Amino acid sequence: MKFGEILRELLEDNDITQKQLATDLNIAATTIGNYIRGMREPDFEILKLFAAYFNVTTDYLLDFQSGIEKDHSEEELLRLYRSLPTDKKELFLEQGKLLVRLNLKEDVKSSKSTLQGKNNVG
């Protein structure tokens, strides 16, 4: 994914307009538009400014993959997490952990019933 597409997604996910971003970061609105359309690339300082503003890494902004491919669902989870305010991120993580624990309990129950079924067959 190109930088402009990532920037557009971040704006949409955070419900921020190009004009608001330009005002907040003291960057010309036309420059923001050029980034989004792929007509211009930010320099390192501007890239760091965007990363701090959206609370993401510069690697994320540059779509740098560390060798581990994420599927669409993982990318969506990451986007959702990053769009939350800091105080809501902890709740998001706790809900995820709860789902994992519930899934583990279901797996244990399923394994026990499978084992009981095999023991009753013999």
pTM: 0.57
Sign of CA dihedral 10, 16, 22, 25: negative
Q: Where are the domains of the chain?
A: 1-68, 84-122
Q: Which fold has domain 1-68?
A: 434 Repressor (Amino-terminal Domain) (1.10.260)
> What is the rounded distance in angstroms from the CA atom of residue 115 to the CA atom of residue 63?
46
Tokens of 43: 């320099």
> What is the rounded distance in angstroms from the CA atom of residue 55 to the CA atom of residue 51?
6
Cα distances from 98 to residues 76, 78, 104, in angstroms, run: 19, 18, 10
> What is the rounded distance in angstroms from the CA atom of residue 47 to the CA atom of residue 3?
10
Pair 81, 10: CB distance under 8 Å: no
* Tens of pLDDT, residue by residue, the chain (122 residues): 789 999 999 999 889 999 999 999 999 999 999 999 999 999 999 999 999 999 888 988 988 765 556 677 888 888 888 888 888 989 998 998 888 888 877 766 666 666 666 666 55
